[in-house]
A and B are shown apart, each in its own frame.
Chain A
Amino acid sequence: MSAETQETVAKASHSPESQALEDVVVRFAGDSGDGMQLTGSNFTEVTALFGNDLATFPDFPAEIRAPAGSTFGVSAFQIYFGSEDITTSGDAVDVLVAMNPAALTTNLETVVPGGLVIADAGAFNEKNLKKANYDSNPLEDGSLDAYRLLTIDIHSQVLAAVEEFEIGHKAALRCKNMWTLGLVLWLFDREKATTIENLQRKFASKPDIANANIAALNAGHAYGETAELPTGVNVYKVPKAKVAPGIYRNVNGTQALAWGLIAGGQLANINLLFASYPITPASGLLHALAARKEFDVTTFQAEDEIAAVCAAIGASFAGSLGITSSAGPGIALKTEAISLAVSAELPLVVVNTQRGGPSTGLPTKTEQSDLLQAFYGRHGDTPLPVIASSSPSDCFEVAIEAVRIATKYMTPVMLLSDGYISNASEPWLIPDIKDFAAFPVEFRTEPEGFNPSLRDPQSLARVWAKPGTPGLEHRIGGIEKSYETGNISYDPDNHQLMTDTRQAKVAGISTDIPEQEVALGESKGKLAVVGWGSTFGPIHQAVKRCRLEGLDVSHIHVRYLSPFPANLHALLADFDKVLVPEMNTGQLVKILRSEFLIDAKGLNKVSGQPFKIREITNAIKAELA
C-alpha cells in the first residue's frame, strides 16, 4: 500500500459517522470581506479553552479588498486540533466551510474524500458562479458526490435572525460569519459563551451590531440542533489533549517575538529601539511593539529599510539595543548597514520574517529561502550569528537568545522567522520570566586604560562605551581599525588580524549555545531528518508517524544555524543518511554539505504553503526503502 492510500484510509476513518475523533482539520473560506479570519480566531479560542491541542494557519490574499466573489479574493483560516500533540496546521481538510463559489473552487482539493463541505447556497448565484468559473452549480450538479454536502441558504437564515435589530441589509449580511461559526460550534459541541463575550467587547460602542452578531451566532447554533441535517452530519467529539499542566494562552509568532524581545531587553537590563519600515509579513512586529510603550522599548517607523537599520545601529552606539525587522527584500536593502555593525562591532538584532521570493514574490505566503542571504548575503568577509524560530511560541525564547548573543558578543544577530510562524498561532504554556537567567550588559565607565578596541579575552567582544560617559570619548566607523588602538589602520597584517578576529568571535559562540539535541528518536541510526525554522511541525509529525510504523528515523531540529552547535557534525555523522526538508530549493542542505562534507539530501518545496506531513513521510519511506 502506498503512503498516499494509507493516508486516505486513515483520513476516511475521520468521517462524521465515527463521531469521536482524535483530531480534525477545519477550514473556513470565504470572500475577503466575509470575516473568515475573525471566525477562525474565535473558533480557535473556543477550541483552546476546551482543551484541545491545536495549530492554525491564516491564508489570506495579498489584495486588501479584492473584488467580491473573485477567486483571488478568497481568504481562508485553517485550524487543526485534537487530543494528541499538534505541530502543524494539518494536511487534508475534514470540514470545509465555503461561503461562496470562489471559496469552494479554490479550497475543494484540500478536502479529504468523504469530508464535510458546508456551503452557503445563498451565495451560489449566477454572478458568483461565473466569477468562480463554474458552468453549473456544483451544489446541484452532483460534482460534490464524493463529499458530505451541507447546503444552507445562510443569507436568508441570517437576514431572518437579525431582522429585529434593523441594522440595514448590508450590516445584517455581515453577520453571516457568526451564523456559520454558531453552526460549527454546534458541530464540535463547543460553548458559545466566549464568542459572545468577544462580540460584546468588540462592538461595545455599537450594541445593535453586537446583538445582531450574537443573534446570528445563536441562530446558527440552533439550526444545527433543530434542523434536519443530511445523514451522517452530526456532532463531532474531539477529546481534550493530554498536555503538561499549567496556565496556557494562545500566541502567534508575532506576539511571541515582540514579547521575547521585551523580555530579552529586561534580562539584558537595556532599553530597546525597534526601527522598522512597513513590509508584509513583518509589519505586525512593529505594530506589536509600538503598542507596548509602557515597557522600555521605543519604536521608530523609518523612511525606508536602510534608515531603519541605521537608526537601530545609532541606538546601539548610544547604549540601547537597536533592533530592525523586515522581510527578504528589505533585508537586502539593509545589508550594507549590517556590515557596518559587524565592522564597528555593535550589537544589533535583525529579524527577517521570510516570505516567498524573489523580488516582491509572494508577500503573503511563506518560504524559508533567505537562509543563504542570512549566511552570506553581505559584502566582505562578514560573519554573523543566525538563529531561527521553529514555531509561534518558540519565537519567545529565540528572541531572548538573539538579544543575549548580540549584547554579549557585540555583533548583529540575524533572527529568521517566516510568514507562517508570524501568523499561525498555538497554545503556549506561559513561561515564568523568573526562570530565565539574566545577562545584564556592562558598559565601560573606567577611563584608565580605555581605548575602543579593547576586547573581552574570552568572548572577543569589543568594549561598549556609550556617549555621555566622561573620559571615554572615542570614534568608531566602517574603516578598518587597528586591533591595538581602534584608530584607522590600512596596515595589511592588521586587516588579516581583524578579519580573523571577527571570524573567531562568531565561531566561538558555538561553545556558548546548547549542544544539538535530537528532537525525536535515537542519536544514531539509518536516517536523520534535519530541519530548521517552521518546517519543525510537519517534520515532527512525519517522523513520529514513521517511527510508529517501526522505521529507524530521527528528527533533528537546528535552531542555531550560525555557528552550528559544536556537536552537530559528529551527530549527523552517526546517521547513514541525512534528509533536509526545506521550503526553498536547498539552502541548509548546501551549507551542511559544504561545512561537513556529508552526503545530505534535500526535500524541497516552494509553493508558498507549508509542507504536508505526508510529503515528508513519503520522502522518509523512499529514503529507507
Chain B
Amino acid sequence: MNQAVDKLTVADYSSDQEVRWCPGCGDYAILKTIQKLMPELNQAKENHVFVSGIGCSSRFPYYMNTYGFHTIHGRAPSVATGVKLANPDLDVWVITGDGDALSIGGNHTMHALRRNVDLNILLFNNEIYGLTKGQYSPTSKVGTRSPSTPEGSVDRPLSPCAIALGAGAPFVARSIDTEMKHLSPVVKESYLHKGASFVEILQNCPIYNDGIFEQVKDKKIAPDFRIEVEHGQPLLFGKDNNKGIRLNRESLELEVVTLGDDASLEEILVHDKTSITQANLLAAMQGPDFPVAVGILYHRPASAYVSDLEQQRLSLRESRGEGKLQELLSSGHIWEVK
C-alpha cells in the first residue's frame, strides 16, 4: 500500500470533472496546492474524505479524486462529524466558506471545534457571498457595498480565527490562497494535528470583492501589512524587518513599535503558539493599524472527541463484555406463562 501511496502525483488527485470557478478565482490556487500536497501526506487516497457545504468553495470536493460529499448549506462540519464517528480511520476534511461556516453554519463550526473532532477544516474567506451574486457576508468589512447593502454594510464583521479560538479549537492558522509556499506547509501541519484544526485561507473573489486582501498579498506593500508568525521567533515585520509587536503591560494590548526607534529587540513579543492569550491577540490584529497575522497562530494538542469516545467504549466492553441481544431482551423481571 505504501509503495502505491508514494507513487501518487497531482494527477491522481484530480477528478475528471471540469473545474467551474470563475476565471481568476483564488479557489483554483487552493485546489492546486491541496492536490499537490496530497501525495506528501503519505496516506492512501481512499482514506481521504472531503465534505463541503454550499457556496463557491464547497464545489471543491467534486474536483478531488478522493471520496467527497457536497452537502447542504452550513452543515458540512456535522456531516463530517458523522463520517468520523462512523469510521475514525478516515481523514476527514471540511471545505467551507465565510457564509457557510460562520453565518448559516456558525453553530456547527463552533461545536465541531469545541468537541475537538479530528477534522481538517479549511475556511475560504473571501468576505462575500459569491454563488448568490455578491451579497455581503459575516466577514465583510463595515461599509461593504453589495446588492443587499447598496449604501454599505453597517454591521461589524467577525474574525474567523477569533471565533475558532473562542470555540476552543486546538489548532488555528491563517494563510493566503495564492501563496503555495505558505499555504502548503500550514495545511500540512493542520493535517498532522490530531484533533480539530482550523485554517482560514484569505481568498480573492475577482468578481464580487476583487482585491480585498491586496494589502497583505501585494509583494510591494505586503511586508508592512502582514506578519508571518513562527513559533519561538520574535514578532517582526516590515519591508526592513524593523517593525515589531510589543505587549503594553498596562493595557494588556498589543502595539506596533519600530526597532531602534521606540523599542529594542528584547521588548518584542516572541511567538508562542501554545499561548491562547497571545493567539487571541494575534488573531484580532487587523489593518490599517496592525499587520494581519498569518501562519500557525495557535497549536496546543488535546485529546480528540472520537478517540475519547472509542476509549470509553473499549473500557465499557471490557467490563460488560460484548452485548448479547437475546440476553438484553430477557433482562430484568420476566415471567413465564404456561
Contact = CB atoms under 8 A, between A and B. Distances in A.
A65 interface: no
Given A304-B107, A306-B75, A295 B325 contact: yes
A430 B335 contact: no
Contact of B72 (A243, A273, A336, A472): A336
A475 B323 contact: no
Contacts of B313: 293, 298
A475 B61 contact: yes
A133 interface: no
Interface stretch (A15-23, A307-315, A406-414, A607-615): A307-315
Contact of A473 (B45, B320, B336): B45
B78 interface: yes
B86 A488 contact: no
Given A298-B85, A433-B326, A245 B335 contact: no
B86 A320 contact: yes
B34 interface: no
Contact of A307 (B15, B64, B111, B333): B111
Given A292-B328, A314-B81, A336-B72, A470 B46 contact: yes
B180 interface: no
Given A295-B323, A468-B89, A470-B44, A478 B111 contact: no
Interface in B1-27: 15, 17
Interface in A203-261: 243-250, 259
A302 B78 contact: yes
B135 to A, nearest CB: 20
Nearest to B315: A293
Contact of A318 (B15, B49, B316, B317): B49
Contact of A472 (B46, B321, B335): B46
Contacts of B309: 298
A465 to B, nearest CB: 9
Contact of B86 (A259, A319, A337, A487): A319
Interface string A477-488: 111000000011
Contacts of A249: 329-330, 332-335
Contact of B15 (A263, A300, A475): A475
Given A300-B85, A314-B86, A468-B46, A479 B325 contact: no
Contacts of A273: 82, 85-86
Contacts of B67: 467-468, 473-475
- Most chain B beta carbons < 10 A, residue from A266, A304, A314, A479: A314
B293 interface: no
A599 B78 CA distance: 46
A444 B77 CA distance: 26
B87 A466 contact: yes
B72 A318 contact: no
B68 interface: yes
Interface string B292-336: 000000000000000001001100110011110110111011111
Nearest to B74: A306
Contacts, number: 202
Contacts of B336: 245-248
A600 B277 CA distance: 69
Contact of A475 (B69, B84, B328, B333): B69
B264 interface: no
A337 B75 contact: yes
B62 interface: yes
B335 A49 contact: yes
B70 interface: yes
Contact of A311 (B81, B107, B330): B81
A191 interface: no
A340 interface: yes
Given A292-B323, A310-B75, A431 B329 contact: yes
Task: Find the residue from B17, B80, B87 having the highest chain A CB count within 10 A.
Answer: B87
Contacts of B321: 294
B25 to A, nearest CB: 18
Nearest to B65: A473
20 contacts: A247-B330, A247-B335, A262-B325, A293-B317, A295-B323, A300-B81, A300-B82, A302-B111, A311-B81, A315-B85, A317-B86, A319-B87, A340-B71, A430-B329, A467-B67, A475-B61, A477-B62, A477-B69, A478-B70, A478-B71
Given A271-B86, A430-B329, A467-B49, 11 more contacts: A248-B336, A273-B85, A302-B111, A303-B107, A306-B108, A318-B90, A320-B87, A467-B47, A470-B44, A474-B67, A478-B70
Interface of B: 15, 17, 44-47, 49, 51, 61-62, 64-72, 75, 77-87, 89-90, 107-108, 110-111, 309, 312-313, 316-317, 320-323, 325-326, 328-330, 332-338
